[in-house]
């Protein structure tokens, strides 16, 4: 799971590429001097981590026993620009308030955190002022609150958090469905308007498209879904072409990405204003903001040799094709902050990184005052 300044790899014991700030020499969120290479988290020795969620100011790790460990800022909420929290927790600490909930997934959005239980219940921390997530809480509240409303009796199988909103993939008797709650700015809730929703609301457009959602992704300002038939839908704020429809228009309901009609997708990942799609053959397509070369299109992209060009429709990431490995998962920056970077995991467990690396977030060494990596480079860890 990628975040602007660092990357957390999913394995046990967990690996943590350092956070580097060469301009001011600050120590990182892990409480030590840094060098930009992956290091083992010794305090988790013997604990098997199955999922990691990285936010702008904190990280949450889920063990195979359903326990949650967190480090970074001591708050599950986050004020704008990440100033919330009075101190840093520099090593993973068990989240006591979740000890009685068997957690299988965590998602960190700005201003709030969400977790999913083994039973399919969703719980949220913070950002409940004015009942914006269906409950009233203070920013520093450390108690989980069940997500009330229509999902109380419908099991959820996946959650995704973006900027002030949450998506939930739920299992209904009629099939899979997506619900959304939170801020509707840019149409990212998918209901045909830009109004907020204080309780989870079914996104009805998938029924009209005859599409069964199986994977959901929440970017900062836009969202995406992969259907059982391999179709990809995107919606929300279309800035920089991140929706893949050939323009920068907003879409307030899910819309099929026509340029991927000949591709059967199995995975999708969304970031600030970027989207990546992985096909069943292991090919990777990307579109949206070309900041920091994080789309992987290092070749001439705009006819003038600009690898930072924005991409309005899906393009094959040929630089990943050249590693001769089948890609199975993409993780990329998901925040309102820049330092965009991307990770690609292959079927054999190899991890490749590209994009901004000025804070050590790629887990590879940059030389000659480089600040980014245009071509994918293998990170020296084995995730097999």
pLDDT tens digits, 14-31: 444 433 233 333 444 444
Structure confidence at residue 214 (pLDDT)? 98
DSSP secondary structure, 206-266, as one string: HHHTT--EEEEEE-SSEEEEEETTS-EEEEE--GGGTTSSSS---EEEEEE-GGGTT--EE
Beta bridge partners of 3: 6
Residue 76 has pLDDT above 70, yes or no: no
65 has which bridge partners?
none
Residues sharing a CB contact under 8 Å with residue 54, sequence separation 6 or more, in sequence order: 1, 2, 3, 6, 7, 8, 108
What is the CB neighbour count within 10 angstroms for residue 230?
Answer: 17
What is the pLDDT, as a whole number, of residue 345?
A: 95
What percent of the chain lies above the pLDDT cut of 90? 57
Q: In this structure, are residues 343 and 355 in contact, taking their beta carbons and an 8 Å threshold?
A: no
pLDDT class of 129 with cuts at 50, 70, 90 = low
Per DSSP, the three-state class of 88 is strand
Average pLDDT over residues 29-44: 67
* pLDDT at 274 exceeding the cut of 50: yes
Kindly list the distances between the CA atom of residue 258 and the CA atoms of 219, 313, 314, in Å, as whole numbers in the listed order.
20, 9, 10
On the question of pLDDT at 78 being above 60, the answer is: no
- In tens, the pLDDT along 278-324 reads 999 999 999 999 887 889 987 544 444 555 789 999 999 999 999 99
Count of helix runs (H) and strand runs (E) in the chain? 2, 28
pLDDT bucket at 172, cuts 50 / 70 / 90 = very high
Mean predicted lDDT score pLDDT of the chain:
84
What is the average per-residue pLDDT within 360-380?
A: 86
Among positive and negative, which fits the CA dihedral 295, 296, 300, 305? Answer: positive
Question: Quick one: residue 359, left, alpha or beta (phi over 0 = left, psi -120 to 50 = alpha)?
Answer: alpha
251-263 burial code (b ≥16 CB/10 A, e <16): bbbbbbbebbeeb
Helix (H, G, I), strand (E, B) or coil at 292: helix
- Summarize the confidence of residues 200-209 as an average pLDDT: 97
Q: What is the largest CA-CA distance in the chain?
A: 58
**What pLDDT score was predicted for residue 350?**
93
CB atoms within 10 A of CB 383: 15
Q: What is the pLDDT of residues 229-272, one digit of tens each?
A: 999 999 999 999 999 999 999 999 999 999 999 999 999 999 98
Round to whole Å and give the CA distance between 103 and 70. Answer: 13
Place of tokens 């860890």: 381
Q: Regarding predicted confidence, which is higher, 66 or 84? A: 66
From residue 172, alpha-carbon distances to 20, 119, 155, 156, 175 in Å are 45, 14, 8, 9, 5
Q: Answer yes or no: is pLDDT of 32 > 60.
A: no
Closest to 242 in 3D by CA, of 264, 265, 273: 273
What pLDDT shows up at residue 21? 30
Q: Is 85 left (phi over 0), alpha (psi -120 to 50) or beta?
A: left
| pLDDT on residue 217 | 98
In this predicted structure, what is the pLDDT of residue 284? 98
Highest mean pLDDT among 17-21, 79-83, 123-127, 136-140 belongs to 123-127
pTM of the model: 0.87
Rounded Cα gap, residues 277 and 88, in angstroms: 35
Q: In the chain, what percentage of residues exceed pLDDT 70?
A: 79
Residue 130 in 3-state DSSP? helix
């Amino acid at each position: 799971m990628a975040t602007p300044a660092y990357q957390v790899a999913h394995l046990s014991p967990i690996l943590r590429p350092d956070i580097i700030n060469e301009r001011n020499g600050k120590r990182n969120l892990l409480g030590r001097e840094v060098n930009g290479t992956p290091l083992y988290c010794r305090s988790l020795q013997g604990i098997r981590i199955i999922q990691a969620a990285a936010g702008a100011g904190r990280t949450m790790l889920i063990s195979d026993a359903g326990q949650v460990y967190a480090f970074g800022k001591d708050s599950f909420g986050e004020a704008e620009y990440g100033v919330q929290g009075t101190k840093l927790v520099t090593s993973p600490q068990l989240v006591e308030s979740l000890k009685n909930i068997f957690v299988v997934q965590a998602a960190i959005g700005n201003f709030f955190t969400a977790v999913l239980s083994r039973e399919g219940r969703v719980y949220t921390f913070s950002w409940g002022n004015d009942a914006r997530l269906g409950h009233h809480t203070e920013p520093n509240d450390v108690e989980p609150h069940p997500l009330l409303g229509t999902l109380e009796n419908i099991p959820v199988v996946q959650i995704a958090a973006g900027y002030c909103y949450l998506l939930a993939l739920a299992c209904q008797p009629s099939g899979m469905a997506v619900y959304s709650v939170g801020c509707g700015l840019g149409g990212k809730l998918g209901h045909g308007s830009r109004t907020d929703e204080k309780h989870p609301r079914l996104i009805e457009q998938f029924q009209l498209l005859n599409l069964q959602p199986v994977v959901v992704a929440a970017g900062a300002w836009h969202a995406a879904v992969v259907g059982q038939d391999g179709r990809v839908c995107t919606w929300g704020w279309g800035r920089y072409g991140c929706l893949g429809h050939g323009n920068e228009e907003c879409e307030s309901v899910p819309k099929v990405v026509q340029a991927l009609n000949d591709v059967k997708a199995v995975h999708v990942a969304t970031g600030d204003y970027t989207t990546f799609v992985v096909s069943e053959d292991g090919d990777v397509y990307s579109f949206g903001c070309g900041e920091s070369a994080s789309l992987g299109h290092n070749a001439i992209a705009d006819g003038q040799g600009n690898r930072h060009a924005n991409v309005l429709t899906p393009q094959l990431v040929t630089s990943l094709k050249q590693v001769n490995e089948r890609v199975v998962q993409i993780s990329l920056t998901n925040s309102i902050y820049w330092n965009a970077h991307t990770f690609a995991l292959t079927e054999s467990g190899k991890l490749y990184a590209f994009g901004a690396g000025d804070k050590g977030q790629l887990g590879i060494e940059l030389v000659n005052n480089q600040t980014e990596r245009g071509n994918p480079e293998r990170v020296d860890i084995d995730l097999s």
